[in-house]
Amino acid sequence: MNAAQPGTTSAIAATRGGAYWFLSRLLLERPEAGFLGEIAVRAAARDNDDLLLLAEHAGRAARDEGLSIDLLREYTFLLRGLREGEGPPPPYESLYREKRLMGDSTAHVMRHYHAAGFGDIVPEAGPQDHVGVELRFLSLLCYHEHLALNDGAIDRALELTARQRRFLDEHPLRWVDELCACIEDASRLPFYASVARLTRALLHEDRMLLDELDDEYRAA
């Protein structure tokens, strides 16, 4: 993605936030019928091979009960960690970085949330260092960046991009490559392998974009 042109930064912040929100839902929510239909429509509107694959697979699963059941099983196998040693570890940062739940990284993630004015982001996810929760936090920061830009509050927008950059560097980017590789390797259907590739790409590409956006904001 290229740096924003003057007058488009607010829209880009909203788009970035929407991408984070969509991926957080894919990683947090069970792929049940209503959600599958939504995925099929939203993903088909994007010119990206993995998104088009998601759209095609979600559309078929919404119409095919057998495939829908298989996809629900895949979600449980890949993202819920039903049994130790069966499938990849559940997608909690502390499990990947410290080999334990509720580790130091979990507490540090919560400090980021609290410093930004939030408590638990998605309480039902359990420990708040779940990858989907971390993506949801980034989505919320992008939303507030969007609001700041609409109000012409450039200093506030810069504060929010600095917060995003710091969080990315200290948390998701330290473990997302290992997580996504585990999901890709263990996937039996193409759906969540695509989700993993999209997640990894968004985090790395957005981190580079943030530096460019700061330059745009300072020039505004």
Residue that the structure tokens 């989505």 belong to: 139
CATH of the domain at 104: 1.10.3480.10
pLDDT score recorded for residue 214: 79
Residue 4 lies in a domain: no
Residue 145 located in a structural domain: yes
Question: Mean pLDDT across the stretch 60-79?
Answer: 95
Percent of the chain with pLDDT over 90: 83
DSSP string, 173-184: HHHHHHHHHHHH
Q: Does the pLDDT value for residue 82 go beyond 70?
A: no
Q: Which domain holds residue 197?
A: 9-219
Dihedral sign for Cα atoms in the order 60, 41, 92, 123: negative
Cβ proximity of 6 and 215 under 8 Å: no
Residue 210 lies in a domain: yes
- How many Cα atoms occupy the beta-carbon half-sphere of 56 within 13 Å? 9
pLDDT at residue 137 tops 70: yes
pLDDT given for residue 30 in this prediction = 96
Q: Is residue 2 part of a domain?
A: no
Quote the distance between the C-alpha of residue 78 and its chain's center.
Answer: 16
pLDDT at 179: 98
* Contact predicate 190/53, CB 8 Å: yes
CB of 91 closer than 8 Å to CB of 75: no
Q: Which structure tokens are listed for 10?
A: 């607010």
Q: How open is the CA angle 140-146-149, to the nearest 5 degrees?
A: 145
Assigned domain for 1 exists: no
117: left (phi over 0), alpha (psi -120 to 50) or beta: left
Q: What is the pLDDT of residues 8-60, one digit of tens each?
A: 788 999 999 999 999 999 999 999 999 999 999 988 877 789 999 999 999 99
